[in-house]
Amino acid sequence: MTIHMIIGTILGGVLGLLYYKLVGCPNGSCPITSKAHRTAIYGAILGLLIGASF
């Protein structure tokens, strides 16, 4: 169970950064996707929650 949570957190963070690079928010008005670290943190949290469910 712990390994699922770790993998989910890392994968979620990476996917969050990928989302920031590919989609992002060009004008900076989006509260979550305007900064790379925020998007990575939200992705990591979602990955953790999904990983904990397995």
What pLDDT score does 34 carry? 84
- Contact predicate 40/48, CB 8 Å: no
For residue 32, give the 3-state DSSP assignment: coil
What pLDDT score does 16 carry? 93
pTM given for the model: 0.86
Give per-residue pLDDT as tens, 1-54: 799 999 999 999 999 999 999 988 878 788 888 888 999 999 999 999 999 998
Number of domains in the chain: 1
Q: Based on the number of CB atoms within 10 Å of its own CB, is 29 exposed (0-12), middle (13-18) or buried (19 or more)?
A: exposed
Q: Based on the number of CB atoms within 10 Å of its own CB, is 30 exposed (0-12), middle (13-18) or buried (19 or more)?
A: middle
Could you tell me the residue range of the domain that residue 44 belongs to? 2-21+29-52
What pLDDT score does 27 carry? 81
